[in-house]
Amino acid sequence: MNIISSRDRVGIIGIGQSEFRARRDDASYPDLVREAVVLAMADAKLDFDAIEGVVYSLSPDAMVGIGNAERLGVDAVGGRSKRFLRINTGGATGISSVTAAYYHIASGACDVVLTAGADKVGECGDSQTVLNKIWDPTYERQLPLGTINMLAMSAVRYMKMYGMTEEDMARVTVKNRKQAALNPRAHLRKIVSIDDVMSSRIISWPLKLLDCCPQSSGGAAMVLASEQYIHDNKLDAVWITGLATVAETYWMGDRMGADPTAEHADAHALARSFQRSYKMAGITDPAKQVHVAELYAPFSNTEYHSIDAAALCKKGESIAMMRNGEFELGGRIPVNTSGGTLCTNAIAVTAMARVAETALQVWGRAGAHQVNGAKLGIASGNGGDHQIFGTMVLEA
Amino acid sequence: MELMSRQETWNITYTHALGETASYFYVQLRDNAKIFGRRCAKSGKVLVPPRAFSDETLQPTTEWVEVGPGGKIEAFTMVYEQFNNLPPPPYAFGYVLLDGADTAIGGYFKGVDLADPAKAAEKLAIGTRVMTKFAEKRTGDVLDFWFELA
C-alpha cells in the first residue's frame, strides 16, 4: 500500500480572459493572444520557464484572415523551444485545446502546460461566408448553408418534437443578457426583454437577431498542471475530474427521417460526450449533483437541447424548467451565468471560456455572477455543423 | 492615438473533383432529370445524396436506387438577412426525405410567399408533401432541382 496517496489528477492553476468586444483595434492578433497569456500566467503565479508545452487554440484560419495563424501565435505564447500543437475543431476548438493540454499532463509527458488563443471575428466581414465553406463542396456548398440556418433547422425540429415556442427561445436570451450584465468580460451586456427579442429582425426563421450570438474579438488562456506539481509547489487549483469528446456524422440530412442515426433537434453526440464525462467523474445523477453549467449555445434555441444533453433534465423538460427560472442565477442549476456564447463568441476560444468560467465558479472566483456554494460544474463545446463535441466536469 | 487598419479580400479558385459516385448522380440529374441514391447492402438504407460508403456500417454502397420525385419536408428555414457572397433574401430552403430514400437532401423551397414568416412556416411545416422540380436547362448541379408544395 502506498504511503503517499495517488496524485494523478490534472488541475487548472491559471486563467486569463481578455475583455471581449466586437473589435479590438488596439491589439493585433498576436497582441490579443499575448494579452490572455500574460493574464493567465499572472493568475498562475508561475515563472514562464515552468511551462513545458503549449496547445494553441485556433479555429478556421479564414475567420482571422491569417493562414496558419499559429505561426504568429508561437511568439505570442512564448512557444519557442517548447512542445507546440495547434488544435482546430471549429466551435469546440477551445475545449478541445484544454483536452489536449490535459492529456499532455495525464500521459506523464509534462507537468505544466499552457493553452491559449484568440479570435477577431469582428474583423471578418463575411463570417457566414467562411462558415458556408465548412460544408461539402460536392453536394451541399451550393446551398446557402451556414451555422445560423443549420441551427434554425434544429430549432424547427425541436419546436415540433417538444413544443418550444419563439417566446421560449427569447427567454434564453433574456436570462443570458441579464447574467452577462454582471460579467465585465462579456461582449453583449445590455439587458433585454422578451418583447425586444421578439421584435428584433428575423435572420433565419425562427432565429431573430437577438437569438444570435455576436461576432466577438478577444483572447483566452489557461494553465494546467499535474496534481503532484500542484502539491509540491503548494499551488491553488480546481480539478478536471471528467472529460470526453464525441463526433457525429457530417450529414445533417442523416439526422432526420424515420430512423436517423442521431436526431438533429437534439444534441445526440453531446449527450454521449456528457455520459462519458460523468462516468469518468463518478457522477450518477447530474440533475442533482451539478451545481453550475457553462454550455456552448451560440443561438438561444440550442441552450435547450444542450441542457437536455447534459442530462440536467429529461429531453424537452428544459423548456418548462426555463419558464420556471430553474436555470437562472439563483435558480436550481444556473446555466451560462457568464452570459455564455450567446453574449460573447470569439470562436477560437469560446469553448475555452466555457471551461474557464466553470473553473472560476467552482473556485469561488466568478465575481458578481458567482453561484453560491458551487463546487461541481460542467462545460461543453460544439464544433462544425453541430458535429464535434467536447465536455468536462470540474470540481473544487 | 490614431489606430490604423488594413483591408484585404481573399478570392481563391478551386476546381473540386467530384469523384465517381457524385459524377453518376449529377449526370443522371443533368441528362435525365432523375435523382439517385445509393443503397448500403448491410443496413438496407438508401443514402441521398449518394455516397460511396456508409458511415454507419463502413461498407461500400452497392446499388443505385432512383428516389423521389415526391417527398416530405424534414427541416426548413426562411432567411431574411443578406450575407455577403450568399443569395439575396428572402429565400426558403431545407431538407426533404424523398420517397424511397432513408436520408434527407437539401434544396430550395420555391413558390411559397415569404412575406409573412409565420404563414410561410405553417406552409413549410415538417411532414408537408413536396414535389421535386427540375430546371429546363440543367448543368449537373444541386441547383438543377428544387422543391414545391405538392
Condensed to tens digits (0 to 9), the pLDDT of residues A59-95 reads 999 999 999 999 999 999 999 999 999 999 999 999 9
The answer to whether residue A391 scores a pLDDT higher than 50 is: yes
Q: Which residues contact B66 (CB under 8 A, 6 or more apart)?
A: B34, B35, B36, B100
Q: Give a yes or no: residue B3 inside a domain.
A: no
pLDDT in tens, A177-235: 999 999 999 999 999 999 999 999 999 999 999 999 999 999 999 999 999 999 999 99
Q: Select the more confidently predicted residue: B8 or A7.
A: B8
Measured over the CA atoms of residue A271, residue A274, residue A279 and residue A284, the dihedral's sign is negative
Domain contains B132: yes
Q: Mutate which of A61, A145, A156 to test chain B, going by most B C-beta atoms within 10 A?
A: A156
pLDDT tens string B10-39? 889 999 999 999 999 999 999 999 999 999
Binned at pLDDT 50, 70 and 90, residue A261 comes out as: confident
**Contact criterion met (CB below 8 Å) for A322 and A304:** yes
Average pLDDT over residues A42-59: 97
Q: Which residues on chain A are in Cβ contact (under 8 Å) with B79?
A: 144, 149, 203-205
Residue B53 within any structural domain of the chain = yes
Residue A7 has pLDDT above 90, yes or no: no
Q: List the single residue in B10, B45, B93 with the smallest CB-CB distance to A144.
A: B93
User: Taking CA atoms, what residue in B is nearest to A261?
Assistant: B56
* Statement: residue A251 has pLDDT above 80: yes
Nearest to A129 among B83, B101, B102 (CB): B83
Residues of chain A found within 8 Å of residue B10, distances taken between Cβ atoms: 62, 65
Euclidean distance between CA atoms B97 and B119, whole angstroms: 22
Number of domains in chain B: 1
Q: Which residues pair with A253 in a beta bridge?
A: none
Name every residue whose Cβ is closer than 8 Å to that of residue A340 and which is 6 or more positions away in sequence: A176, A179, A180, A294, A295, A296, A297, A303, A354
- State residue B88's pLDDT score: 96
Using CA atoms, how far residue B83 sits from A19, A211, A309, B92, in Å, is 27, 17, 31, 14
Type of residue found at A24: R
Q: Which three cell numbers stand for residue A130?
A: 467562411
The bridge status of strand A217-226 relative to strand A10-17 is antiparallel
**pLDDT per residue over A153-165, tens digit each?**
999 999 999 999 9
Query: Does residue B78 fall inside a structural domain?
Result: yes
Tell whether the model's pLDDT for residue A365 goes beyond 80: yes
Please classify residue A354 by burial: count the beta carbons closer than 10 Å to its beta carbon, then call 0-12 exposed, 13-18 middle and 19+ buried: buried
Q: Tell me which residue of A204, A124, A139, A134 sits closest to A166, measured CA to CA.
A: A204
Predicted confidence band at A2 (pLDDT cuts at 50, 70, 90)?
Answer: very low
Q: Is B110 within the bounds of a domain?
A: yes
Average pLDDT across chain B, whole number: 97
Kindly report the pTM of this predicted structure: 0.97
What value does the mean pLDDT take over residues A243-264?
A: 93
What is the topology classification, in CATH, of domain A10-125+215-227? Answer: Peroxisomal Thiolase; Chain A, domain 1 (3.40.47)
Residues of A in contact with B94 (CB under 8 A): 153, 156
Name the average pLDDT for chain A.
96
- Express each pLDDT in B79-137 by its tens digit: 999 998 899 999 999 999 999 999 999 999 999 999 999 999 999 999 999 999 999 99
Q: Give pLDDT, residue A275.
A: 98
Cell numbers 455520459 label which residue? A275
Per-residue pLDDT band for A6 (boundaries 50, 70, 90) equals low
The predicted-structure confidence for A97-134, as pLDDT tens digits, reads as follows 999 999 999 999 999 999 999 999 999 988 888 999 99
Domain range annotation of chain A: 10-125+215-227
User: In this structure, how many other beta carbons lie within 10 angstroms of the beta carbon of residue A107?
Assistant: 8
Domain extent, residue B106, equals: 19-149
Q: Of B104, B106, B125, which is closest to A143 when you measure between CB atoms?
A: B106
**Position A1 pLDDT exceeds 60:** no
Q: Report DSSP letters for A183-226, one per residue.
A: -TT-S------HHHHHHSPEEETTEEGGGB----EEEEEEEEEE
